[in-house]
Amino acid sequence: MRKKLSRQFIDILARLKMKDCVFCRIVKKELPCYEIYEDKDFLAFLDIRPLNPGHTLVIPKKHYRWVWDVRNIKNYAAVVRKVANAIRKAMKTEWVISLVIGEAVPHAHIWLVPRYKNDGHPAGWLDMNNVKKLSEKEMRNIAGKIKKFL
């Protein structure tokens, strides 16, 4: 009984947190995004603070705090793979870094960041302060290019 109550309490807390979650609001179409991919379980969209053109976030539509909490992780990985390959082709690069950080937004998400020669980031890593300033038009164009390869 105690275990069941604590599970219910955790579920209630999670639902309360989801109301304020920016990614949950994007999923519900309350906030706009530069969408790359969507199916019944997952959504991929361009990061509004891109470390490079094509920087994409892949999230589960259902709110999970951490990537490793996602129950259908195999399907999640398949979507991440599909989107990463589309980024590689669209952005004409062989190098797409995937990162699981999860500190800025408390909703499971995987970063896909294409790398380019002389992109201003150190070899083998990313300078988190090296955010690229892209116009709305550039963001829409990049999203459209990536979508063509999905």
Over residues 58-112, the pLDDT tens digits come to 999 999 999 999 999 999 999 999 999 999 999 999 999 999 987 889 999 999 9
pLDDT band at 33 (very low <50, low <70, confident <90, very high): very high
pTM of the model: 0.87
Rounded Cα gap, residues 77 and 80, in angstroms: 5
66 vs 1, 22, 101, 109, CA distance in Å? 27, 15, 9, 8
Contact 34, 57 (CB under 8 A): no
Point out the residues that are catalytic. Answer: 109
The amino acid present at 74, given as its one-letter code, is: K
Residue in this structure with the two tokens 């996602």, named with its chain if needed: 70
The mean predicted confidence, pLDDT, of the chain is 90
Q: What is the pLDDT of residue 9?
A: 45
Give CB contacts under 8 A, 24+ apart, made by 93-101: 97/126, 99/126, 100/67
Q: In the CATH scheme, what is the homologous superfamily, with its name and number, of domain 33-147?
A: HIT-like (3.30.428.10)
Domain regions of the chain by residue span: 33-147
